[in-house]
Amino acid sequence: MKIERVSLRRIRLPLVAPFRTSLGVEHERPALLVQVTTAEGEGWGECVAGADASYSSEYLEGAEDVLRRHLVPRLLATDSVSAHAVAPLLAAVKGHRMAKAALETAVLDAELRALGISFATGLGALATRVPSGVSVGIMDSVPELLDAVETYLAQGYRRIKLKIEPGWDVVPVRAVRERFGDDLLLQADANAAYSRADAPLLARLDEFGLLLLEQPLDEEDLLGHAALARRLTTPICLDESVVSARSAADAIALGACHVVNVKPGRVGGYLEARRIHDVCAASGIPVWCGGMLETGLGRAGNAALAALPNFTLPGDISASDRYYATDITEPFVLKDGHLEVPDGPGLGVAPLPDVLAAVTTAVSEVR
């Protein structure tokens, strides 16, 4: 395809409730959408970078800047491009995986739409629906947490993930396990809030039969995770530490994880995410799809990815109303604890023009 122009659209969506993790509290979701236009049509991608650099070194304004000044011009200078050629074309620009992922996703969406092929089919997925888990943020009190978990279970979510941090870990996990029983699929996510010195504390989580403990230590501390994995019976899952198929292979070889959380934006796009899936499958390591408060665009791609066979654990692919009163696409609705995988061409969803116009704060175009 020949890319004729690329539009960068800033949007802002209020969350239905504040979402608190060890990294801070979010009240709204600012997002950057990438739209590519070709002679055959258009494609969309969503950049998952946050408003600040608390989760990652990437942040929204930086992603927009590197797209406009460095990434998009390389794409427009090419006579013809396919989605698989995007990463090699952009390789001279170091890092910026979230920005690259958004651009590659838009190209892949346009390519598959033109061919009449769904995202799921293009990635090699077979499932038509995926089990849905929900991430529960840090609360002001244990009773508030228990009420929230009860609500999500009543809605049909198949797995509960509790955000934890020092001072909010053993007590809330114990409370949820005691209240809802041993059959509940329960896991905890620390977002790298602990250190190696906290190993005795984290070992206390073993008694609760967690599905996994996600990213307890700093993202660069693979050896620390390997030591912790030897000490705990709870399976260690890596999130921020895995940024590519190569880093996944290294972590597995070191014994630093038993499970991997795959976030397409964090690893540079859906094609690299599929490579991570394949590497983990070859090593007998299960994967699941994480979430970054995506709109319906990102949710559609994540659902397609999670339909691949080694995504054997419920992911953080929640219904649209978990975070937004109004999504920018037709909403994803929870049915029997699952979300349907879109089967239309490309992502299978597109922004609703009126909604998109209402939440847009800025638009720029590169030709």
Would you name the residues annotated as active-site residues? 163, 263
Which residue, among 325, 280, 330, has the nearest Cα to 305 in the 3D structure? 280
Report yes or no: 44 and 351 within 8 Å, Cβ to Cβ.
yes
Q: Give Rg (Cα) of the chain.
A: 20
Report yes or no: 149 and 186 within 8 Å, Cβ to Cβ.
no
At a CB cut-off of 8 Å and minimum separation 6, what does 254 contact? 222, 223, 225, 226
Report yes or no: 256 and 248 within 8 Å, Cβ to Cβ.
no
Which residue, among 249, 254, 239, has the nearest Cα to 275 in the 3D structure? 249
Q: Which residues pair with 262 in a beta bridge?
A: 289
| Single-letter residue type at 323 | Y
Given the structure tokens 């329960």, which residue do they identify? Answer: 186
Report yes or no: 264 and 293 within 8 Å, Cβ to Cβ.
no
Buried b (16+ CB within 10 A) or exposed e, 303-336: bbbbbbebbebbbbbbbbebbbeebbbbbbebee
At a CB cut-off of 8 Å and minimum separation 6, what does 202 contact? 169, 194, 213, 216, 228, 232, 234
For residue 209, what are the CA distances in angstroms to 20, 142, 183, 268, 302?
Answer: 24, 19, 10, 33, 27
State how far the Cα of 89 lies from the Cα of 6, in Å rounded to an integer. Answer: 16
State how far the Cα of 21 lies from the Cα of 180, in Å rounded to an integer. Answer: 22
